Amino acid sequence: MVEKRIIECPFCGKLSVDCIYFPPVLQTTVTRVSAKTSTQFYKTKEKYEVQSSCPNCGKSVKEIQKALDEGKRDPEKDKKILKRLKEQGLDFTTIKTKF
């Protein structure tokens, strides 16, 4: 199930980063009390473990791993969204959702 893949760099978008891919897996947890046994199923998230840095843009292994785990934010896109909200007359300081 675990396999080695070459993925796109989250910063430059070129296929150049070596990583190990862990697919989502169904796992179980068993709880026991005196009267009953209960089995609960849950699914783990997929995971990428970065093995090499990007030769194209020069980002390190830690930077690429952080971008894959947390998701890369584009500050220019955030500025455009805030500008659109201002033009529409919405008070963006009270909006609590993520973009």
Mean per-residue pLDDT, 83-94: 78
pLDDT score, position 74 = 67
Q: Is the pTM of this model over 0.85?
A: no
68 occurs within a structural domain = yes
88 occurs within a structural domain = no
Mean per-residue pLDDT, 34-48: 91
pLDDT band at 95; cut points 50, 70, 90: low
10 occurs within a structural domain = yes
pLDDT score, position 58 = 85
- Which structure tokens are listed for 82? 């805030």
pLDDT score, position 12 = 81
Going by C-beta distance under 8 Å and a sequence separation of 6 or more, which residues neighbour residue 41? 26, 27, 28
40 occurs within a structural domain = yes
98 occurs within a structural domain = no
Count of domains for the chain: 1
Containing structural domain, residue 64: 3-73
